């Protein structure tokens, strides 16, 4: 309803909009072209040239098994982070929409403070917590839960914990905006017609939050797959993610290979982002018809 | 009209003269080195004095980065006037034409250790990869690790190990444990090395990527012994009384080099600074702060014994060392790292 109203009101000024749109978009687009698209295309062309001129093409592609393993690692880690942030954020966001305005503000403050801290600081904080003599092990030892310190750091668990911590606020923002616009009279209608709480949740609430869930999951996956610092500092060898690998190749002056990997990553992200965009506009579309 | 042109030329010539006179302002040198503690030590030991004497300011950055060096030179935008390059990177930089020839007449070459300088570079700080262990587990007074090979000795020294996540050093250690003699280590028999590394791999709890991480993991007891660069335990034992012991048998000696990147904007001043950094007293001051030596033979007389005990270039340590072959790593480095990464992921 709201969108229809706005477009009606602005109809009188419509002739100005294309010009204004162009003017507003020029600075951002030229900046991105200058510092990202142009250098990236140049590097890509260089990499293509290097590879066609190089006699070591077989060697470069001989490393494919490593590439696949790293690509698979990256996808799996990103999926694990997506699921864990989803599971943590969903109930929290539900709560956020149901509490008083004051509590809501307080809760958002608590969510935002760590969000503003640097990812490096958060990573080191987790290293302090999770190492063999760290806080987590000390608490579990002193309460008698374990007798030997557990290996909590330099493995998959540590990486997923660290990344989930970083990514959680992004999921919360995405879910919260979706959940806030759920029409509660539908839920009241559902329960007044005799549906159980579970039925109401599964048949009414969950479906109306699904667009936000999809959008949140996709954006978290996109953010997670390019992660560098956390897997590099908190992971073991099998948590080598694609960015870590690209950095290694660049340092070894294997620029063509590093660039091709970077191109793969960007390509993957473009595909994912297109899906995200498509789903997102679809979501708008349905809302408008309702 | 002709007069007019003449006076115009005269004026512009004058203006040109004025601008050249103006450019006599103090020069700022951009120096890229390891960064962190190393740059701080260089500043305290050499740079501050150099700036006071010559008026040449120094802006530093880090870490050493071969990829950045290549990018700068290839795009014709050399920001660094002086830069550090490491293992394998030095011969590669010469091969790729990334560095200027030095003016060796400005350096005190007769006082420098043989092999510590050539047409393209001078030693920055040679360092060694050594074994550090936790003295809370094995006190210095009792039975404790004495050799890099004790990494494999789970019988006497049980517990998790920390290793450097790189083929460099790791392959040398594997080959040494396979029984190859130090002086015939190159070319490295990689198959033999990996056979030994396969045995070590299950005991490795941390594959570290930064020097800080290597000692932090030991301190946190994520491992009981590990591979570290010799300056790290030196600083931590001296400054923080950290519980580390160091074993030198089978240590791996690395060179790191100062180079002037191709197209550096202040070649003359960079040479001046290079010469100042060869001063034995300055090198001694640097070593006392950081635990890394440099190439002047006269430096040793200014060093305290407890500093010498940690230096990679002390004669008794060199006698126990494998000298890392930069040329082998230049030729085989990328392929070796690729194989190492594959092996790690298995």
With CB atoms and an 8 Å threshold, state whether B222 touches A153: yes
With CB atoms and an 8 Å threshold, state whether A233 touches B338: no
Contact criterion met (CB below 8 Å) for B188 and B195: no
Of chain A residues 32-61, which have a CB less than 8 A from chain B? 59
Interface mutation vs chain A, best among B223, B338, B344, B346, most A CBs within 10 Å: B338
Nearest-angstrom CA–CA distance, A63 and B339:
8
Residues in chain A with CB shorter than 8 Å from the CB of B344 are 237-238, 240
If you measure CA to CA, which chain A residue comes closest to B339? Answer: A63
Residues B276-285 have a mean pLDDT of 94
If you measure CA to CA, which chain A residue comes closest to B64? Answer: A251
Considering only CB atoms, B66 lies closest to which of A127, A134, A251, namely A251
With CB atoms and an 8 Å threshold, state whether B341 touches A251: no
Residues in chain A with CB shorter than 8 Å from the CB of B216 are 127
Contact criterion met (CB below 8 Å) for B260 and B117: no
Q: Note the pTM of the prediction, 2 decimals.
A: 0.79
Contact criterion met (CB below 8 Å) for A111 and A169: yes
Spell out which chain B residues touch chain A, with contact meaning CB-CB distance below 8 angstroms: 65-67, 70, 92, 165, 205-207, 209, 213, 216-217, 220-222, 333-335, 337-338, 341-342, 344-345
- Domains for chain B: give ranges and CATH numbers: 9-125+256-313 (3.40.190.10), 127-254+318-345 (3.40.190.10)
> Which CA distances in Å does B203 have to A103, B59, B158, B222?
49, 43, 9, 11
- Which ipTM value was assigned to this complex? 0.72
Phi, psi dihedral angles at B200 (to 5 degrees): -80, -35
Contact criterion met (CB below 8 Å) for B162 and B225: yes
Residues near A180 by Cβ (< 8 Å), separated by ≥ 6?
A97
Q: What is the pLDDT along chain A (290 residues), one digit of tens a residue?
A: 344 444 444 455 556 778 888 888 899 999 999 998 888 888 788 777 776 665 555 455 455 677 888 888 999 999 999 999 999 999 999 999 999 999 999 999 999 988 888 999 999 999 999 988 889 999 999 998 888 888 899 999 999 999 999 999 999 999 998 898 888 888 888 888 888 888 888 888 988 898 899 889 988 999 999 899 899 889 988 888 999 888 888 877 777 778 888 888 888 888 888 887 787 665 555 554 43
Residues in chain B with CB shorter than 8 Å from the CB of A63 are 338, 342
Res. B257: pLDDT tops 80: yes
Domain range summary for chain A, segments of one domain joined by +:
14-52, 65-289
Structure tokens belonging to residue B63 = 């870490």
If you measure CA to CA, which chain A residue comes closest to B65? Answer: A251
* Of residues B90 and B240, more confidently modeled: B90
With CB atoms and an 8 Å threshold, state whether B334 touches A63: no
Tell me the pairing of strands B82-85 and B225-229.
unpaired
User: How far does CA B160 lie from the centroid of its chain?
Assistant: 27
Interface mutation vs chain B, best among A42, A153, A237, A261, most B CBs within 10 Å: A237
Residues in chain A with CB shorter than 8 Å from the CB of B68 are none
With CB atoms and an 8 Å threshold, state whether A240 touches B341: yes
CATH match for A65-289 among 3.40.50.620, 1.10.10.60, 1.10.3720.10, 1.25.40.10: 1.10.3720.10
Which secondary structure element, helix H or strand E, spans residue B246, and what is its range? strand B244-254
Quick one: pLDDT band at residue B18, thresholds 50, 70, 90? very low
């Amino acid at each position: 309803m709201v969108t229809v109203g706005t477009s009606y009101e602005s109809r009188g000024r419509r002739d100005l909009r294309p010009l204004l749109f162009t003017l507003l978009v020029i600075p951002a687009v030229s900046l991105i072209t200058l510092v990202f698209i142009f250098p990236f295309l140049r590097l890509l062309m260089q990499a293509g040239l290097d590879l066609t001129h190089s006699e070591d093409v077989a060697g470069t592609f001989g490393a494919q098994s490593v590439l696949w393993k790293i690509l698979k690692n990256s996808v799996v880690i990103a999926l694990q982070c997506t699921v864990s942030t989803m599971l943590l954020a969903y109930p929290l966001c539900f709560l956020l929409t149901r509490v008083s305005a004051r509590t809501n503000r307080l809760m958002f403050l608590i969510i935002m403070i760590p969000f503003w801290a640097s990812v490096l600081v958060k990573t080191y904080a987790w290293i302090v917590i999770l190492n063999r003599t760290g806080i987590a092990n000390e608490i579990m030892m002193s309460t008698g839960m374990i007798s030997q310190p557990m290996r909590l750091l330099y493995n998959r668990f540590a990486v997923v914990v660290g990344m989930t911590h970083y990514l959680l606020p992004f999921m919360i923002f995405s879910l919260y905006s979706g959940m806030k616009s759920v029409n509660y009279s539908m839920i009241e209608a559902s329960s007044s017609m005799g549906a159980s709480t579970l039925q109401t949740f599964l048949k009414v609430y969950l479906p109306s939050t699904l667009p936000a869930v999809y959008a949140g999951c996709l954006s978290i996956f996109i953010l997670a797959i390019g992660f560098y610092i956390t897997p590099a500092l908190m992971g073991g060898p099998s948590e080598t993610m694609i960015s870590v690998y690209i950095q290694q190749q660049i340092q070894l002056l294997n620029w063509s290979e590093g660039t091709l990997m970077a191109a793969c990553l960007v390509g993957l992200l473009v595909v994912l982002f297109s899906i995200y965009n498509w789903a997102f506009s679809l979501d708008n579309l349905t809302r408008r018809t309702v | 009209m002709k007069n007019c042109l003449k006076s115009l030329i005269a004026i512009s010539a004058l203006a040109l003269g004025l601008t050249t006179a103006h450019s006599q302002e103090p020069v700022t040198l951009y120096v890229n080195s390891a960064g962190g503690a190393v740059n701080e030590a260089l500043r305290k030991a050499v740079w501050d004095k150099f700036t006071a004497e010559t008026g040449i300011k120094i802006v530093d950055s880090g870490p050493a980065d071969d990829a950045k060096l290549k990018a700068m030179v290839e795009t014709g935008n050399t920001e660094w006037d002086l830069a550090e390059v490491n293992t394998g990177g030095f011969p590669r930089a010469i091969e790729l034409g990334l560095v200027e020839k030095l003016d060796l007449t400005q350096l005190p070459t007769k006082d420098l250790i043989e092999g510590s300088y050539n047409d393209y570079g001078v030693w920055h700080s040679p360092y060694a990869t050594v074994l550090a262990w936790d003295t809370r587990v094995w006190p210095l007074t009792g039975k404790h690790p004495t050799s890099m090979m004790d990494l494999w000795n789970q019988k006497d020294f049980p517990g998790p190990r920390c290793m450097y996540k790189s083929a460099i050093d790791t392959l040398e250690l594997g080959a040494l444990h396979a029984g190859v003699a130090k002086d015939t280590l190159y070319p490295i028999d990689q198959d033999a090395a990996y056979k030994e590394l396969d045995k070590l791999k299950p005991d490795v709890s941390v594959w570290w990527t930064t020097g800080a991480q290597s000692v932090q993991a030991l301190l946190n007891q994520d491992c009981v012994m590990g591979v570290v660069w010799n300056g790290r335990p030196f600083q931590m034992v001296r400054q923080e009384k950290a519980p580390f012991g160091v074993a030198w048998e089978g240590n791996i000696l690395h060179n790191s080099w100062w180079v002037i990147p191709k197209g550096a904007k202040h070649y003359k001043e960079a040479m001046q600074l290079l010469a100042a950094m060869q001063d034995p007293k300055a090198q001694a001051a640097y070593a006392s702060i950081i635990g890394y030596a440099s190439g002047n033979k006269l430096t040793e007389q200014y060093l305290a014994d407890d500093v010498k005990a940690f230096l990679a270039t002390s004669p008794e340590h060199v006698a126990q060392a494998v000298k890392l072959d930069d040329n082998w790593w230049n030729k085989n480095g990328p392929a070796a790292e690729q194989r190492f990464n594959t092996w790690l992921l298995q």
